[in-house]
Amino acid sequence: MSFQSQYLLSVYQAVCQRNAGEPEFLQAVQEVLESLEPVVNKRPDLVKAGIIERLVEPERMIQFRVSWVDDKGEVRVNRGWRVQYNSAIGPYKGGLRLHPSVNASILKFLGFEQTFKNSLTGLPIGGAKGGADFNSRDKSEGEVMRFCQSFATELTKHIGADTDVPAGDIGVGPREIGFMFGQYKRLSNEFTGTFTGKSLYSGGSWVRKEATGYGLCYFAQEMLSHIKQDSFEGKTVVVSGSGNVAIYASEKAAQLGAKVVAMSDSDGYIYDENGIDLEVVKQIKEVERGRIKSYAERVPGAVYTPGCGEIWSVKCDVALPCATQNEINGEQAQQLVNNGVSVVAEGANMPCTPEAVEIFRANHVLFSPGKASNAGGVAVSSLEMCQNSMRYSWSFEEVDAKLKWIMANIFHNAYQASEEFDHKGDLVIGANIAGFLKVAEAMKWQGVAY
């Protein structure tokens, strides 16, 4: 731990005591607090207002039972949550994750990160996250529907277009959002933009499906161009995962002139030296809901290797981790550096461990934290809310242009904050400070409830 400020150290120690046994949440809090050292020195008014002590505690956390009936007629029980983390700058906003690993620590870490990410977009949205320890991988369509309906029955009591607007995340795509939105609409008897990531037939926005992956590449392109006068053109790229973020990051990277040579899922990775054929990946993942392994069975010359972590041994110029938290550790980061990586842009939330981030920094790799570079998804979600409120819809080109502009703005705001607070070019510090300051000013302005 490297706190120079006694004040920040004591805040962090109190967080550790209060949240013992929640390693992901503690990791995210530590990383943000370490970045705030320069703010604490320059802004004693924010310290006096207790902003940091308040920000390390979610405003509200709801835990609930989700019971449903499987195809054999047996009753099943899962645990669901909604973490309404911070509403200083707008209604709670953040995705729902359905994965067996989901627990309170992971959702608190994601809600905390989401608060700063949403602030960075410049749009009026607070931070939230939710989900359940449900594994849809071995479930039928009917089982997924009944689970989602039961989950949404409870969630409906806590959400609303001006209160809390959930979206997708791992394990929650358009299918699951559809089942949840349908149930919400039945129970509330209103058609509002209370969920985002909806189908285009039901108030969804163009570019929402592509937003996080496209936004990641727009951000990385701006970073490359501003700092190195470079671009994606001719670069070799490795993308982990093969879900929503990974597929559309790969698509945009290829459109920008790069060659994506490897992708993965939680079982293993594929390597295709000719460049991944994304239509095959989309068929396997989006249509068949199959495993990435089958890519190598369909595309001549492609090779499948079991073990997803091995993907980081593939030589590349640009690495885009788009799967899950802590998927690149120190050893894997060193391997990437030894192989000459020059850009690492996080598409997933916190995919690099603190050791990995340190290695990238020490080796002058251009590094962008997820809360800045993966903010495109929530930015377009916010544009979806806008369109729903107006009962209007923008074209693909209009939304894409807004996304590009928002991502470039996030980069420049983070870069500018890094300069202003004496860490020029350190986007981890810049993004944390820029995201924090807007929320902090709003909290200070709104006063403390005694």
Known binding residue 212? Answer is yes
Whether 259 is catalytic is no
Is residue 108 within 8 A of residue 25, CB to CB? The reply is yes
Residues 313-352 that bind ligand NDP (CB under 6 A): 322-324, 327, 347-349
For residues 333 and 223, what is the distance between their CA atoms, to the nearest angstrom? 20
Please say whether the beta carbons of 168 and 92 come within 8 A: no
Distances (CA, A) of 402 to 76, 123, 201, 298, 421: 43, 12, 22, 37, 28
194 is an annotated ligand-binding site residue: no
Six-digit token pair at 408?
Answer: 């470039």
Q: How far is the CB of 81 from ligand NDP (least distance, A)?
A: 15
Q: How far is the CB of 169 from ligand NDP (least distance, A)?
A: 5
At closest approach, how far in Å is the CB of 312 from ligand NDP? 11
Scanning 71-79, 184-192, 238-246, 428-436 for contacts with ligand NDP by CB under 6 A, the matching segment is 238-246
What residues between 258 and 287 interact with ligand NDP by CB under 6 A? Answer: 264-267
Radius of gyration, CA atoms only, the chain: 21
Question: How far is Cα 203 from Cα 388, in angstroms, rounded to an integer?
Answer: 6
Interface of this chain with ligand NDP, residues 156 to 215, rule: CB under 6 A: 168-171, 212
114 within 8 A of 93, measured Cβ to Cβ? yes
Residue 245 sits at the vertex; the CA angle it makes with 170 and 404, to the nearest 5 degrees, is 135
Q: Is 244 annotated as a binding residue?
A: yes
Q: Give the shortest CB-190-to-ligand NDP separation in angstroms.
A: 25
From candidates 30, 84, 121, 244, binder to ligand NDP by CB under 6 A: 244
Q: Is 168 annotated as a binding residue?
A: yes
Tell me the three-class secondary structure of 6-61, residue by residue.
HHHHHHHHHHHHHCCCCHHHHHHHHHHHHHCHHHHHHCHHHHHCCHHHHHCCCCEE
Verify binding: residue 113, ligand NDP, rule CB under 6 A.
Answer: no
93 marked as binding residue: yes
88, 245, 356, 372: which one binds ligand NDP (CB under 6 A): 245
Residue closer to ligand NDP (CB basis): 3 or 219: 219
- Going by C-alpha positions, the residue among 84, 123, 117, 78 that lies closest to residue 101 is 78
Size of the site for ligand NDP (CB under 6 A): 26
What is the residue type of 373? S
Binding residue per annotation — 6? Answer: no
Q: Looking at 129, 235, 259, 404, which residue is catalytic?
A: 129
Q: Which of 91, 94, 377, 435 binds ligand NDP (CB under 6 A)?
A: 377
80 is written with which tokens? 């669901």
Residue 426 as a binder of ligand NDP (CB under 6 A): the answer is: no
From the list 5, 196, 242, 382, which residue makes contact with ligand NDP (rule: CB under 6 A)? 242
| Binding positions for ligand NDP, rule: CB under 6 A | 168-171, 212, 240-246, 264-267, 308, 322-324, 327, 347-349, 374, 377
Catalytic residues: 129
Annotated binding site for NAD(+): 212, 244
